[in-house]
Amino acid sequence: MFKLSEEGLANVKKELARYEAKESAIIPSLYIAQKENKGFITPDMIRHLSQVMDIPEARINEVFKFYTMFNQKPVGKYHVQVCTNISCALEGGREMAHHICKELGVKYDEVTSDGRFTISKVECLGSCGTAPMMQVNDTYHEKLTPESAMNLLRGMR
Ligand code: FES
């Protein structure tokens, strides 16, 4: 049964106190929980958050399932989210995503055998002016080519 750490619980309570509508604290709280569980969320965790936040599980689940930054299964140490939406696609984002998977020998949303990477295709990350781009964990990398993206990833241990 998942339980937030003391620090995680305090942070969720801080988020709850920050907003007038407690639903506004769902996204930051899911982030806190995901960080405490190696990058993914389980039904157990939703149940726990529901109790802690006094918000129905279904409501938290809706938010969880809607946003691609929350993961439903384990991801690698580096979660590489490649934007394949229109602006990035026009600049080669889809080919870049494909190239990365091929180089690393994985399909989308799988974890590489060394546990380092998961590659996901995602919708617009709001950085269309610097397409094509990808987000690795919390950091944006912009104006990439398939080669520069791979060079970046090779440097991540
Ligand atoms: S389309 Fe890729 S960041 Fe907007």
Model confidence pLDDT, tens digit, residues 28-86: 999 999 999 989 999 999 999 999 999 999 999 999 999 988 999 999 999 999 999 99
Q: Is the shortest distance between the CB of 122 and ligand 1 below 6 Å? A: no
Cβ–ligand 1 contact at 88 (below 6 Å): yes
User: Is 157 a residue whose pLDDT tops 90?
Assistant: no
The pLDDT score that the predictor gives to residue 66 is 93
What separation in Å is there between the alpha carbon of 75 and the centre of ligand 1? 22
Measured at the CA of 73, the angle between CA 123 and CA 153, to 5 degrees, comes to 60
How many Å lie between the centroid of ligand 1 and the Cα of residue 18?
30
* Nearest Cα residue to 96 out of 141, 131, 145, 136: 145
Query: Could you give the strand order of the β-sheet that contains 139-141, starting from the edge strand earlier in sequence?
Result: 117-122, 78-83, 134-136, 139-141
First vs last C-alpha separation in the chain: 31
Q: Which is the closest atom of ligand 1 to the Cα of 87?
A: 1
Q: Please tell me the distance between residue 134's alpha carbon and the centre of ligand 1 in angstroms.
A: 9
Task: Name the CATH architecture for the domain at 78-154.
Answer: 3-Layer(aba) Sandwich (3.40)
Sequence spans of domains, the chain = 6-66, 78-154
> Is the backbone of residue 112 left (phi > 0), alpha (psi -120 to 50) or beta?
beta
Going 85 to 89 to 91 to 92, the CA torsion angle's sign is: positive
Verify cis geometry, omega within 30 degrees of 0, for the bond prior to 132. yes
Q: Is the CB of 144 under 6 A from ligand 1?
A: no
Which of 124, 134, 141 is the pocket-test mutation for ligand 1 (most atoms within 8 Å of CB)? 124
Query: In ligand 1, which atom is closest to the CA atom of 86?
Result: 1
pTM for the whole thing?
Answer: 0.84
**Is the CB of 153 within 6 Å of ligand 1?**
no
- Cβ atoms < 10 Å from Cβ of 83: 28
The model's pLDDT over 77-136, given as tens digits with 9 standing for 90+, comes to 999 999 999 999 999 999 999 999 999 999 999 999 999 999 999 999 999 999 999 999
